[in-house]
Structures are given as structure tokens and as C-alpha cells.
Amino acid sequence: MEDLLRSIYHERASDERTLGILILEKQLNVSPITDNFDAILLVIVKEGEQPWFVKHYQFDERTAAMHIVEENKLHYWIDTSSYRRMVQWVIEGRVVFDRNEYIASLRNELDQFPDKKRELRLAIEFAKLTRSYREAKQLYDTKNYLDSYNKIISSLHSLGRLSIIEQGYHPELIVWNQIKRIDPAIYKLYDELMTTQEPLEASIHLMMLAIDFSISGKARSSSKHLLNVMVTGKESWSFGDLKVHSALEHYQLDLSMMLDYLIDKQIIGVELTETKGKNVFQRLYYVKV
């Protein structure tokens, strides 16, 4: 396959904007990692005509996809875990061009997983977790057990990814193999949910108790990114000010639910301030010591 792609990536390598090129070939008949193409050609550029450009090729019966991605776009995906396949391509792809050891440096940064980036990823995952857990609970309380079950599975996935990130690793697409190695206790919860002979209602109830206990233990460390923004800014914040803060934009859609959970756990406090309306107060939020 590389012989067929060589003429394509040689042209890209000659462009001074190209920082690195990797190839990842399909290993199985069905391969979600490569979007089921026989090969992925990832071209990282300093700047391009588009932040992300994709072109599909076919050579006889074989297929390939070329992704040309701007450096800033790639870092956004890495920092927010919004395109995990791309991270795997960088980690597992075979390097065929590396200008000034750019890819080597990028892989080293991924391996080191700096604290600031780790805190952001924890906050993003924790915000998703608080929403899926609260939705599971609401669906359970209204006797929508199958929907609650689906949200419980989402909560376990987020809980597992939190553990992986806490240990300094990037979650892979096949996340439960990682969780089994890194946090056997959470893996056991997932395994019990999949294999239990208990009635659905009872198994969901028990799982919610276990998940709530696990979330409580991770709440302060997983919300450190948000808490640091709040304590280094001002004493108390309106929700509107928090929602538009540039540092919080990656999880602003789940921020309200995250705040609600942290208030319940008495990590964040609520201060009421008067408004022009009689007996109507605005809620402000602050970090409890």
C-alpha cells in the first residue's frame, strides 16, 4: 500500500508547510480505527487551505483516505478528546516524513500528558459524567429503565476514562482493555452490569449507588480545572460569566449540570444577590474552602 501512496505523500513532503506524515494500515477486515479504509494517510501541516481536508482514493480493490490537518486543529482534537481516532493515528501510525522531529516531539508530549492538559480533559469528562449520571437517575425515577440503563453505560464509560486520564494516559477507542489494566474496580462494575442476573430495575439501582460513590471520590480532583478558574478570577461568579469564559468553552454545554453536582457535594457554594424584582435573587457561585 505504501508504494501506491508514495507519490501522494512525496508531493506533500516537498511542501514547506508540511510538518509530518504518518500511515496507518488496516489490520482487520472491519476496522473502525481506519474508517474501514485499507490505509489512512495523515498529513500534519502548519497551515492549509482548510483546517481539515479529506480526500479518498482507490487503487484496484484497495482504498485509502488522506487527511490533511492543520496543527492547531490537531491539538484541539488532542486536548479535548473530540476525535480520538486522530490521537490513535498519531500514536500508532508509521512515520514516513518528520520535519525537524515534529512528530517525535508531538508523541513525547502525548506520552508526558502535561498537568494543565490533563486537568482540562478531566473536567470535560467529569462534566459529561455528571450529566449522564443525573439523566440516568431521572430516567430511573420515572421508570424509564431501558433509557436509564443506556445512560448508566455512558456514565461507566466516562468514569473509566476519568481513571485512565488520572493515571496520565489518553483514552483509546477500545477503552475497556485500558480500564481493566488501570482500574479493575470500575471494570468490575461494568462486568457486573453486563452479566448480572438481577432484574433490570434492581441492577440499575445498585449500579447508581456504586457510580455515585465513585464520582464523589473523584469530584474535587476532576473539577480542578473549573475550580482553578474560579479561585484565580473573582470571589463569586454568575453562571453567565462562567459560561462565556474562554477556558471553560470545551465543556460549557455540561457546565450547569457539573455545577449542580459540585453544589450538592458542597465543593461549590451559592450566594444570593438582590435583583430589581421583589424576592427575586440572582445566584452567584464560589469555591468553598
Chain segment 16-29, per-residue pLDDT in tens: 999 999 999 988 77
User: Based on the domain organization, do 187 and 126 belong to the same domain?
Assistant: yes
Dihedral sign for Cα 257, 259, 260, 265, please.
positive
> What pLDDT, on the 0 to 100 scale, is given for residue 265?
94
CB neighbours of 162 closer than 8 A, spacing ≥ 6? Answer: 122, 125, 126, 129, 218, 222
Q: Which of 66, 97, 112 is the last residue of a domain?
A: 112
Neighbouring-strand partners of residue 68: 43, 53
Looking at the structure, tell me whether residues 162 and 230 fall in a common domain: yes
**Res 9: pLDDT:** 85
| 277: CATH | 1.20.120.330
Range of the domain at 15: 2-112
For residues 152 and 102, state if they share a domain: no
Last residue of a domain, one of 112, 128, 161: 112
Q: How far is CA 234 from the centre of its chain?
A: 28
Whole-number pLDDT of residue 30: 66
Q: What is the reported pLDDT for 143?
A: 95
Specify whether 209 is located in the same domain as 100.
no
Nearest CA-CA partner of 261 in 231, 203, 228, 222: 222
* pTM as predicted: 0.86
What does the pLDDT read at residue 4? 73
Instruction: Indicate if 189 and 56 belong to the same structural domain.
Output: no
Taking a C-beta distance cutoff of 8 angstroms, is the pair 67, 95 a contact?
A: no
Cell of 113: 500528558
Q: Identify the pLDDT of residue 2.
A: 67
What is the chain's alpha carbon radius of gyration, rounded to the nearest angstrom?
23
44 contacts: CB under 8 Å, gap ≥ 6: 18, 19, 20, 21, 69, 70, 71, 74, 102, 103, 106
Which residues, given as ranges, of the chain have pLDDT below 50?
none
* Residues 6 or more apart in contact with residue 58 via CB below 8 angstroms: 64
Provide the pLDDT for residue 173: 66
Tell whether 166 and 225 lie within a shared domain. yes
Question: Each residue of 174-199: pLDDT tens digit?
Answer: 788 889 988 999 999 999 888 888 89
